């Protein structure tokens, strides 16, 4: 079991006004993980991983990061992380965006795009400008 942490990063922030771009999807679908944890999972950096919480699962791309404590992963805030974050607030109005137990499994599946995720929820992609 891992602990999922989400938050801002500078690259996420740079793309936040341009969320329909592929660049945003790249950033927001990154799963930062300690290199030793990657080794334990028998995975290489850049391989895809399915991250599953009690609420759902999503496919992300791994990126090794020694700044993280072992046993934790970090995903920039955005639609990918939110795909597995529970909408419960314990009567505070604030969901648990940090400190969420998740399971990681190697996968060969592709990452969805941000629009794929929105369409899964009943939305409609908007791509023409």
Which is it for strands 30-33 and 56-64: parallel, antiparallel or unpaired? parallel
Dihedral (CA of 109, 110, 111, 117) sign = negative
Q: Is 95 a binder of another protein (CB under 8 A)?
A: yes
Q: Is 36 helix (H, G, I), strand (E, B) or coil?
A: helix
- The answer to whether 123 contacts another protein (rule: CB under 8 A) is yes
Q: Which stretch binds another protein (CB under 8 A): 38-46, 85-93, 102-110?
A: 85-93
Comparing CA positions, the residue from 42, 46, 20, 19 lying closest to residue 31 is 46
The smaller minimum CB distance to another protein, of residues 42 and 67, is found at: 67
Region binding another protein by CB under 8 A among candidate stretches 3-11, 41-49, 102-110: 3-11
Contacts to another protein from residues 20-79, by CB under 8 A: 20, 28, 55-56, 67-69, 72, 74, 77-79
Q: Are 51 and 84 in contact (CB under 8 A)?
A: yes
Q: Select the span of 43-51, 81-89, 102-110 touching another protein (CB under 8 A).
A: 81-89
Secondary structure letter of residue 40 according to DSSP: H
1 binds another protein per the rule CB under 8 A:
no
């Amino acid at each position: 079991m891992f602990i999922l942490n989400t938050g801002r990063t500078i690259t996420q922030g740079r793309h936040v006004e341009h969320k329909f771009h592929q660049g945003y999807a790249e950033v927001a679908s990154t799963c930062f993980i300690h290199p030793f944890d990657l080794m334990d999972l028998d995975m290489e950096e850049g391989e895809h991983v399915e991250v599953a919480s009690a609420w759902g699962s999503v496919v992300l791309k791994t990126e090794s990061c020694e700044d993280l404590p072992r046993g934790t992963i970090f995903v920039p805030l955005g639609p990918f992380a939110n795909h597995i974050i529970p909408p419960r607030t314990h009567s505070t109005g604030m969901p648990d965006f940090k400190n969420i137990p998740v399971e990681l499994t190697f996968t060969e599946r592709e990452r969805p795009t941000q629009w794929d995720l929105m369409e899964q929820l009943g939305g409609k992609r908007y791509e023409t400008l």
